[in-house]
Structure 1
Amino acid sequence: MEHVHLAAEEDDLYSGYNDYNPTFDSEELDNDAGFQQAVRTSHGRRPPVSVKTVDGAARPMTAVRAAGYSSAMTRGSTFDPLEFVSKVKILEKKVNDLIEESCLAHGHGDLQLSLDRAKEAGRKERALVRQREQSGNADHINLDLTYSVLFNLATQYANNDMYAEALNTYQVIVKNKMFSNAGRLKVNMANIYFKQKNYPKAIKLYRMALDQISNSHKEMRIKIMQNIGVVFIRMGQYSDAITSFEHIMSESPNIKTGFNLILCYYAIGDRERMKKAFQKLICVPLGIDEEDKYIPPNVSTSILHPHYKALAEKFIMTSAKLIAPAIEATFAAGFDWCVDMVKSSQYVELANDLEINKAITYLRQRDFNQAVETLKTFEKKDSRVKSAAATNLSFLYFLEKDYDQADRYADLAMTADRYNPAALINKGNTVFVKKDYEKAAEFYKEALRNDSSCTEALYNLGLTYKRLGRLEESLDCFLKLHAILRNSAQVMWQLANLFEMLEDPHQAIEWLMQLITVTPTDPQVLAKLGELYDSEGDKSQAFQYYQESFRYFPSNIDVIEWLGAYYIDTQFCEKAIQYFERATLIQPTQVKWQLMVASCYRRSGNYQKALETYKDIHRKFPENVECLRFLVRLCTDMGMKEVQDYATKLKKVEKMKEIREQRVKSAREGSARGTRREGSASSGDSHGTSAKGERLSAKMRALPGSNEPYEASSQRDIDASYVDPLGAPMERPKTAAKKRNEDDDFADEELGDDLLPE
């Protein structure tokens, strides 16, 4: 009799359970009447001894003693088969319970416990087999139980990614000829090889399984052939995959195989066979007939899942989008062919969705006009399609900033289907841009009532409340959104911004720190972190984030200015130069950046380089007063002859400045219109000045240090405290001025607003 044995492991699963062999027990032979009688007979045979069964029938004596039990239990007693059967049944139940516990543990996701219970079941079942063998009942071994134990153990090994152990255990089952139909487990083994990407071995075992499964099991054979086709795709052997899939589509067509066949034809670029495969795909019977619930005999009931039709539609839509550009000369012609095919099939309602998809594809190709034309053809269709088309049209016109048309189509979409959340959102958006925020909020709330999971409506409602100043309600919207969209960068940014507006910078920083785990290289987020840390007085953290922001985007003027000001404040002027030079590249028409570069050279003691820079600035901006002042000063200090020339130019420019100021004063005394016109003109020199430029210059002038063109008036003392170069000037205390240097002839001069660069 063959018995199943597990593949050898490092420690035998059943070792130590019962090492006693009653055959070699000689202690009790003197007291064994049967043995003594056998010794006295001529042939030494044990004479037949009868024992009575429960019903009184005689049966032959079995083993010398009850195998697997201690000698104390059997010493001087006769083997009781009823007691043995009872013990076996208890042990069998324990094994079954362990298998059940193993399966339940797997169902709860506890893979380790599941494996532990499977191993324990294996140990107890092996002990049970040994007891039967030693009691002479080997013929009655429960093969079903052995199969269950081994199959569950192999399954749990595979679930724990212990593929070698799983394969060994399956091998034990497959090789044992006592297990009928074990050959189909080669499919399980092939699946493991597939996971290990050992594709040739997987195909070999799938084919072996096919050989051992009769044609009567048609559904299983089809599934194995599907697997073979998928493995060939993974190997890039599309022709072999096509052979498998074509066979299935001729024998028992199904949606997944039809889709895979289209993919294979697309991969090899066979235009005509793509068309034929698409036609086969849309002809696959669904097996769902609402009239008479007829199920075709060749369609498995397993496909009558509620989601099967939706899956079929998804595959058809995906196939059409994939092959449309490949089957005809143009994408539009290919799409039209697919639409014509679908219109004559059981998926006739999909034709409209395909047409809308065609319009969306036009939009992706930046062909706005064609997209609009395609969508306009739906205005006379049924309400669902009309609403979908009008919704898309409204959105397209909104992107084009044609808000009147966007509003018109949003109304049309709502008329066709009042419960369409997308239509309500579009309507809300058109009202939002007209700044009617209360009304916009109502449309967004209605969209949410129709679809509580509509994230666009919730996001827009949050923005609307923000515009209305209802910050707590806005915060509530975005916190709800964050619970739905855990990794949305936009939602986290809005939350940080709201906490900043609610004057809770610590919470704002917390949300920004979460945000940079999602988008670690976003320079705007890093700069905002720098700004918040700076406002909290943590200059080292602020510097770290501003520097990171500069590394990823070295063209943000605010960040550049902050870093330059930081190095000037910390007395590392030479390090500030690289930032101001970067600013001159970005804004070459703004004189202040070049003046800062020159000032950094002068402050770091490199007077020659400073002089060259000032001369270069003077060539580009001949009317700049600050540049001329420093040229006069440097030439005087260095004993250069050009000093007189620069001094003359300085006086001339200052005179022109006075005349210009006088004109402005006269204009202000004139009409109000003249005041507005002349006032804007007087705010800058020949290069113009923006409000941004004035603000930035004010920041730079507030920096402590020696007399520089970006300093405050030197008639007041300046303290050594750091001033935030990015904070709003009106929101921080005014800084004191610094003592003027006695040796600086121009230290009492302040950079006038009319000379501030743009």
Structure 2
Amino acid sequence: MYAEALNTYQVIVKNKMFSNAGILKMNMGNIYLKQRNYSKAIKFYRMALDQVPSVNKQMRIKIMQNIGVTFIQAGQYSDAINSYEHIMSMAPNLKAGYNLTICYFAVGDREKMKKAFQKLIAVPLEIDEDKYISPSDDPHTNLVTEAIKNDHLRQMERERKAMAEKYIMTSAKLIAPVIETSFAAGYDWCVEVVKASQYVELANDLEINKAVTYLRQKDYNQAVEILKMLEKKDSRVKSAAATNLSALYYMGKDFAQASSYADIAVNSDRYNPAALTNKGNTVFANGDYEKAAEFYKEALRNDSSCTEALYNIGLTYEKLNRLDEALDCFLKLHAILRNSAEVLYQIANIYELMENPSQAIEWLMQVVSVVPTDPQVLSKLGELYDHEGDKSQAFQYYYESYRYFPCNIEVIEWLGAYYIDTQFWEKAIQYFEGASLIQPTQVKWQLMVASCFRRSGNYQKALDTYKDTHRKFPENVECLRFLVRLCTDLGLKDAQEYARKLKRLEKMKEIREQRIKSGRDGSGGSRGKREGSASGDSGQNYSASSKGERLSARLRALPGTNEPYESSSNKEIDASYVDPLGPQIERPKTAAKKRIDEDDFADEELGDDLLPE
């Protein structure tokens, strides 16, 4: 209720009975700042600053800090710099030094950034660590030291130190890439400044940040070099460096090196959950899932919020076929990471493995709500609906998957088959043509396109497609059989040429098969079999040979041929084929035949008296 609060403050400030009411103008400035009325906020802060006596130094510094924050939010960095420079000269503190560094970064002044960073590091912490070291010879002092080791003052000092380290690390990461010609030189400058200060232990953390920056720039060799150098430091830094090295080698599929560095990290700091997780990963990669689960459990015991370990233990239980435990892990993880698409997908996958497709679909729908453009998830939904028999929903999700990623062959094949089932041949052609572009060396897609043209009644287009396919795949027997059949049905003279090619191909295929067979069984046995087959019954394939004769007679009678087609042997031409789209669906029968069958006179003989005169 900002308006009411401002009115109340205004009444108090105007009342002359309250001599120190001017200080309330700072509260009014705070309200205007929350309302984003920056000009009025600064006005009231300055009025409050005028009414605070100079002896009240801390209050004046706090008001000036508020003025600086207001200028930053208003984007007036030069005015904010003036406020913070004044504070750092009068009574330096961590917040003011940090904000001053940010302001110089915003205006892009490299030299001033360096000076502000040095001022920030020079701010005294005013923490005496020696008083917490208990001497061994005085039992009374030891008791006092034990009592104050974790009291409220000590906790406050820890918070102050943690805040200082956070400000310094954040400032260094912010300015390091811009204060020098390269980010590496900038980090080196920051490390040298930190080493010469009271925050010596932060230098190693900055080196690790430098290695991480190299990783972000995909300069793995430099990152590994820095991490290997840090591996020789104290146990905490050694554990962090070895953990990062283990992760790097794991991603590079060098599991032996990853395992050795994970061991170093674990031995340096047994309570490092990241190190234990990496060690579990290397064991998982070697297929020892039970042992991997033990490492993940230990990581979770050390840090119950280690989501990586919880996720990995779920995958481990899935590998061990302990699906109920895996589901329990992922549901716990879902309670922590509410909108994680990976976790939601794993839950759906577990339900699918448990043969509960309705639950799998429900969780996949949640995945789609988080990442609506993931083609793999959409195709999985289509697959599940297809198994459930809901073709319309399956088509919707397969189509969406195809729209976002039109190169998935399985999705294209399903959509083409769907349009064939519904007899929309033209639609199916679009998908099969796309598949032939993705897999130009696969003849089946072009045969399917031609078959769709043939079924839709466009025989000329079908013939052209078969001819084009034959040019690309001259040794494909199926294509030649289609050409022989189609050209024969259309009465084209090309049928003779294609039949000759088909004959030659079949003979080559037979010779090749005989060579393979002779290589297996030995030349003597195969020769005997050939002689036996040659001297066998000549009449057992009478019907087949008669078909061959009929085909040659038809080819001889084709118009425009100068010489008759002569077979080099008595073997028939096998022009039979199998349609890649399956048998053609029968057309629905009309009622014309039915009307004839139901004719009243169908079964009666007409007498002479009914005949016309």
Q: Give the TM-score normalised by structure 2.
A: 0.79
Aligned to 1:420: 272
Gaps of 5+ in 1: 1-156, 159-163, 294-300, 672-706, 721-758
Conservation of the 8 A alpha-carbon contact between 1:232 and 1:240 = yes
* Cross-structure match for 2:45: 206
Which residue of structure 1 aligns with residue 63 of structure 2? 224
**Of 468, 471, 476, the match for 1:616:** 468
Q: 2:448·2:581 contact (CA, 8 Å) conserved in 1?
A: no
Match of 1:709 in 2: 579
1:468 aligned to which of 311, 320, 327: 320
Query: In the superposition, relative to structure 1, how do residues 280 and 663 fare at CA in structure 2: closer, same or farther (>3 Å)?
Result: same
Q: Distance in 2 between matches of 1:247 and 1:307?
A: 26
Cα shift at 1:653: 2.1
Describe how 1:597-608 pairs up with structure 2 within 5 A.
Answer: 597-608=449-460
What residue number does 1:397 align with?
249
The residue that corresponds to 1:41 in the other structure is none
**Aligned mates of 1:217, 1:386 — CA distance in 2:** 48
**Would the alpha carbon gap of residues 174 and 595 (structure 1) be closer, same or farther in structure 2, given more than 3 Å must change?**
farther
Instruction: Give the residue type in structure 2 aligned to 1:405.
Output: Q
Asked if 2 retains the 8 angstrom alpha-carbon contact of 1:187 and 1:206, the reply is: yes
Counterpart selection for 2:202 from 338, 342, 350: 350
- Change over 3 Å in CA distance of 1:666–1:504 after alignment to 2: farther
Q: Is the 8 A contact 1:626 1:709 kept in 2?
A: no
Asked if 1:185 is matched to 2:55, the reply is: no
Give, as a single letter, the amino acid of the residue that structure 1 aligns with 2:39.
Answer: P
Q: What are the Cα deviations for residues 297-330 of structure 1, in whole angstroms up to 9, with x where unaligned? A: xxxx999464222121111111111111222232
* Counterpart secondary structure, 1:401: coil
Q: Which of 54, 67, 71 is equivalent to 1:215?
A: 54
- Between stretches 600-609 and 184-193, larger displacement belongs to 184-193
Change (3 A) 1:579 1:210: same
Aligned to 1:519: 371
Distance 1:188-1:661 versus aligned 2 partners, 3 A rule? farther
Q: How many residues align?
A: 514
Matched, 1:286 2:125: yes
Counterpart-to-counterpart distance in 2, 1:174 and 1:577: 82
Give the C-alpha shift of residue 546 in structure 1: 0.8
Residue ranges of structure 2 left out of the alignment (5+ in a row)? 133-152, 524-576, 588-613
Per-residue CA deviation, residues 390-441 of structure 1 (Å, 9 max, x unaligned), is 1111111212222221111111112212222222111111111111112111
- Which segments of structure 1 move beyond 6 Å, counting only runs of 4 or more? 717-720
* 1:234 is aligned to 2:104: no
- Is residue 652 of structure 1 aligned with residue 504 of structure 2? yes
Going from structure 1 to structure 2, the CA distance change for 1:257 and 1:570 (only over 3 Å counts) comes to same
* SS of match in other structure, 2:444: helix
2:107 to 252, 268, 277: 268
Tell me how far 1:261 sits from its aligned partner. Answer: 0.8
Q: Which amino acid aligns with 1:226?
A: Q
Q: What amino acid sits opposite 2:119 in the alignment?
A: K
Q: Where is the helix percentage greater, Structure 1 or Structure 2?
A: 2
In structure 2, the CA distance between the partners of 1:651 and 1:351, relative to structure 1 (3 Å rule), is: same
Alignment of 1:403-552 (within 5 A): 403-552=255-404
User: Given residue 191 of structure 2, which amino acid in structure 1 is its aligned partner?
Assistant: V
- Matched residue, 2:142: none
Residue type of the alignment partner of 2:579 = P
Taking structure 1 as reference, are residues 173 and 665 closer, same or farther at Cα in structure 2, changes over 3 Å only? Answer: farther
After superposition, the Cα gap between the structure-2 partners of 1:516 and 1:668, relative to the gap in structure 1 and judged at 3 Å, is farther
Contact 2:211-2:227 within 8 A present in 1 as well:
yes
Shift of 1:643: 2.1
TM-score (norm 1): 0.64
Q: Which residue of 2 aligns with 1:341?
A: 193
1:190 Cα deviation after fit: 2.9
Cα distance change on mapping 1:581 and 1:247 into 2, 3 Å: same
What is the CA–CA distance in structure 1 between the aligned matches of 2:71 and 2:378, rounded to whole Å?
48
1:579 alignment partner in structure 2 = 431
- 1:632-673 CA deviation, whole Å, 9 max, x = no partner? 2332333322222222222222322333333444455479xx
Stretch of structure 1 that moved more, 638-647 or 418-427: 638-647
Q: Please tell me the residue identity of whatever aligns with 1:576.
A: A
Q: Which amino acid aligns with 1:602?
A: R
Q: C-alpha distance in 1, partners of 2:459/2:227?
A: 70
* Distance apart, 1:454 and its partner CA: 1.3
1:251 corresponds in structure 2 to: 90
CA distance, structure 1, for counterparts of residue 91 and residue 326 of structure 2: 56
Show the counterpart of 1:361. Answer: 213
With over 3 angstroms needed to count, the CA separation of the structure-2 counterparts of 1:649 and 1:281, relative to structure 1, is same
Query: Are 1:493 and 1:515, in contact at CA under 8 Å, matched by a contact in 2?
Result: yes
CA separation of 1:543 and 1:442: change in aligned 2, threshold 3 A = same
Distance 2:494 2:92 in 1: 95
The AA in structure 2 aligned to 1:546 is Y
Distance 1:661 1:565 in 2: 34
Change (3 A) 1:167 1:648: farther
Q: Is the aligned partner of 1:631 residue 2:501?
A: no
Instruction: Please tell me the residue identity of whatever aligns with 1:409.
Output: Y
Q: Secondary structure at the match of 1:377?
A: helix
Distance 1:302 1:269, change over 3 A: farther
**Whole-angstrom CA distance in 2 between matches of 1:670 and 1:272:** 88
Check the 8 A contact 1:288/1:304 in 2, yes or no: no
User: Which residue identity lines up with residue 433 of structure 1 in the other structure?
Assistant: A
Q: 1:150 is matched with which residue?
A: none
Task: For 1:710, give the aligned amino acid.
Answer: P
Task: Give the C-alpha shift of residue 502 in structure 1.
Answer: 0.9
* Matches of 2:219 and 2:26, distance apart in 1: 50
- After TM superposition, the structure 1 = structure 2 runs for residues 48-63 of structure 1, keeping only pairs within 5 Å, are none
Calculate the aligned-residue CA RMSD, in Å. Answer: 2.5
Contact 2:208 2:227 in 1 (8 A): yes
Structure number with greater Rg is 1
Letter in 1 for 2:98: F
Q: Is the 8 A contact 2:240 2:265 kept in 1?
A: yes
- Note the alpha carbon deviations across 1:488-538, whole angstroms, 9 max, x for none: 111111111111111111111111111111111111111101111111111
User: How far apart are 1:564 and its partner, in Å?
Assistant: 0.8
